[in-house]
Chain A
Amino acid sequence: MESRINLNSFFLPLLGFVLVLLLWQVSSKTWAPSLPTPGRTWELSKPYIIEPLAKRGEMDQGILRFTWNSLLLVAKGYTLALLIGTPLGFILGMSKIFTKLFDPLIQVLKPISPLAWLPLGLVLFQKSTPSAIFTIAICSVWPTVLNTAIGVRNVPQDYINVGRVLKLSRLKMLYKILLPATLPYMFTGYRLSLGSSWLVIVAAEMLTGTPGVGGFLWQEYNSLIYEHIILSIATIGLIGFLLDRAMLAAEKRVGAILA
């Protein structure tokens, strides 16, 4: 039974992958002639994967080098999002008036796409890098804000009563009780925010033209090298998945401490 589960959890995903490859192959041979085949994609992507850290030119680098550049840009916007989003979430969670004031606005701002924020960023900051960081931050801040607020609202009354019986000051109540009790929710928010900020990377780098996965993707589209678009897409997906897994592990660790 045990080995069968292992078999399923290994072979079934592999089978899914093969099926998609097959569909891709058939598609590029039939109804989508401009779509490069899997074989050709691999052929043209090989130099970027085999030498992932190579730097042959500004826009001709190994895939890991591109990824690293993209991660640096995302890290800036993401850090900004956490620095703004966490305290905002706390205030929102603690004050009913604040919730009434801003919650509807947040619900309206949340679904706006990165492509809509970019021009506003350019208007505000004139330069492309700050506006890219602004776009990443504003698109990824919402999960942190909302999850932190939910976490604060869900702190068990028992813990708050302990704080009241012990006559903790407001500050001590915050960092001895509210903060640790909210931590699992905050981490869920951080994980979702990281996912959102990574989603923005193509849009942000399209604008900045920096050498990253997104910038590479856009450049290769303009150069009509479609194989590299697929390489970039696959890389973005894989990196996003890895980031999510890493954050999930961190989240579980935090959750285990508070169980």
Chain B
Amino acid sequence: MILRVNNIDKRFVTSSRPREVLRDITFEVAEGEFVCIVGYSGAGKTTLINLVAGLLRPDGGEILFDSNPADGPSLERSLIFQNYSLLPWLSALANVELAVAQRIPKAPKSEVTTRARRYLEMVKLGHALDRRPAELSGGMRQRVSLARGLAMEPKLLLLDEPLSALDALTRAELQEELIRIQQQERRTVLMITNDVDEAILLADRIIPMSGGPGATLGEPVMVRLRRPCDRRTLNFDLEYQRTRKAILTYLLTHGPGQKSQNAIPTTLQPLAFSLQPSEEVA
């Protein structure tokens, strides 16, 4: 196992009253695996991935990366941010170069540039190397951010809702892109999303997360779809329907503020996750 998260808790102290965000979170990621954590908005998913990235420290439990305690950020666990977080005063190329130069600090400048360029071409931005983030669309910015994460060549790539700020069409386009890159690169990925279908399309294994406060994880669901899958016929795939139902059942019975696991009529539930392309729960 490349990543082991054992019983971690996280609280935030806001105006003297501590608020429990995550409770007793345990999961693993194996090498070469693509794992998605799916949950409600505001449940603490970003907190969880920031903990794994080392930007935050847990209040209890431990995070083991490569069998060692994960203490602070590491170049082996690169994080791709929800809001891209590109440096606006640098060109797309320079943004990626900054990361590459950290990864291969002794390499000559030309090698850094070559590598940065290669990853930007991989995300199909070879034509926009010199453009600054303000001159790029949202989708293009996230491509730069993705190239920056990939160019670090980390042992574990962390994706924090990378597509949630994009419009539906760009989102679908980038999902296909992620599938293509993943087939080519075979990275170990931990991704956070609030989109059940996105998780099914991309992940080998999906872990649903309950609504906060004190969010916990449900049983992992294996995705056994034939890859690559065609999103046009996906709705009729029995395996897809089974996976989707399993995750939705968990999410709908573990919504925000719900203490018990007793199902409340699903029609009364707020649907914080998106239900595209079809609104039906098979």
Q: Give the shortest distance, in Å, between B165 (CB) and chain A (any CB).
A: 13
> Count the B residues whose beta carbon is within 8 Å of the partner chain — how many?
20
Query: Which residues from B are CB-within-8-Å of A166?
Result: 75, 98-99, 102
Q: Give the shortest distance, in Å, between A13 (CB) and chain B (any CB).
A: 34
Encoded as 1 (CB less than 8 Å from any B CB) or 0, chain A from 173 to 190 comes to 000110011010000000
Q: Name the one of B55, B79, B102 contacting A168, with C-beta atoms under 8 angstroms.
A: B102
Bound CA span A168–B102, Å: 7
Encoded as 1 (CB less than 8 Å from any A CB) or 0, chain B from 70 to 83 comes to 00111100110101
Contact between B81 and A159 (Cβ–Cβ < 8 Å)? no
Q: Would you call A167 an interface residue if the criterion is a C-beta within 8 Å of the partner chain's C-beta atoms?
A: yes
Q: Give the shortest distance, in Å, between A162 (CB) and chain B (any CB).
A: 5
Query: Which residues from B are CB-within-8-Å of A180?
Result: 87, 89
Query: Which residues from A are CB-within-8-Å of B89?
Result: 180-181, 183, 257-258
Q: Give the shortest distance, in Å, between B198 (CB) and chain A (any CB).
A: 23
Contact between A164 and B81 (Cβ–Cβ < 8 Å)? no
Near B by CB (< 8 A), chain A positions 238-259 give: 257-259
Q: Would you call B134 an interface residue if the criterion is a C-beta within 8 Å of the partner chain's C-beta atoms?
A: yes
Bound CA span A257–B79, Å: 25
Contact between A161 and B85 (Cβ–Cβ < 8 Å)? yes
> Count the A residues whose beta carbon is within 8 Å of the partner chain — how many?
17
Bound CA span A166–B104, Å: 12
Q: Would you call A158 an interface residue if the criterion is a C-beta within 8 Å of the partner chain's C-beta atoms?
A: yes
Contact between B85 and A158 (Cβ–Cβ < 8 Å)? yes
Q: Name the one of A167, A177, A259 contacting B74, with C-beta atoms under 8 angstroms.
A: A167
Query: Which residues from B are CB-within-8-Å of A167?
Result: 73-75, 102
Contact between A165 and B134 (Cβ–Cβ < 8 Å)? no
Q: Give the shortest distance, in Å, between A180 (CB) and chain B (any CB).
A: 5
Contact between A162 and B85 (Cβ–Cβ < 8 Å)? yes
Q: Would you call B228 an interface residue if the criterion is a C-beta within 8 Å of the partner chain's C-beta atoms?
A: no
Q: Give the shortest distance, in Å, between A179 (CB) and chain B (any CB).
A: 10
Encoded as 1 (CB less than 8 Å from any A CB) or 0, chain B from 166 to 184 comes to 0000000000000000000
Query: Which residues from B are CB-within-8-Å of A258?
Result: 88-89
Contact between B99 and A164 (Cβ–Cβ < 8 Å)? no
Bound CA span A177–B54, Å: 19
Query: Which residues from A are CB-within-8-Å of B35?
Result: none
Bound CA span A181–B79, Å: 21
Query: Which residues from A are CB-within-8-Å of B88?
Result: 257-259
Q: Name the one of B81, B99, B134 contacting A161, with C-beta atoms under 8 angstroms.
A: B81
Q: Name the one of A159, A165, A176, A183 contacting B79, with C-beta atoms under 8 angstroms.
A: A165
Query: Which residues from A are CB-within-8-Å of B72?
Result: 164
Query: Which residues from A are CB-within-8-Å of B75?
Result: 166-167
Bound CA span A258–B72, Å: 29
Bound CA span A167–B83, Å: 19
Of chain A, the residue at the smallest CB distance from B154 is A165
Chain A interfacial positions (CB closer than 8 Å to B): 158-159, 161-162, 164-168, 176-177, 180-181, 183, 257-259
Chain B interfacial positions (CB closer than 8 Å to A): 53-55, 72-75, 78-79, 81, 83, 85, 87-89, 98-99, 102, 132, 134
20 A–B contacts, CB within 8 A, in A order:
A158-B81, A158-B85, A161-B79, A164-B55, A164-B72, A164-B73, A165-B53, A165-B78, A166-B99, A166-B102, A167-B73, A167-B74, A177-B87, A180-B87, A183-B89, A257-B88, A257-B89, A258-B88, A259-B88, A259-B134
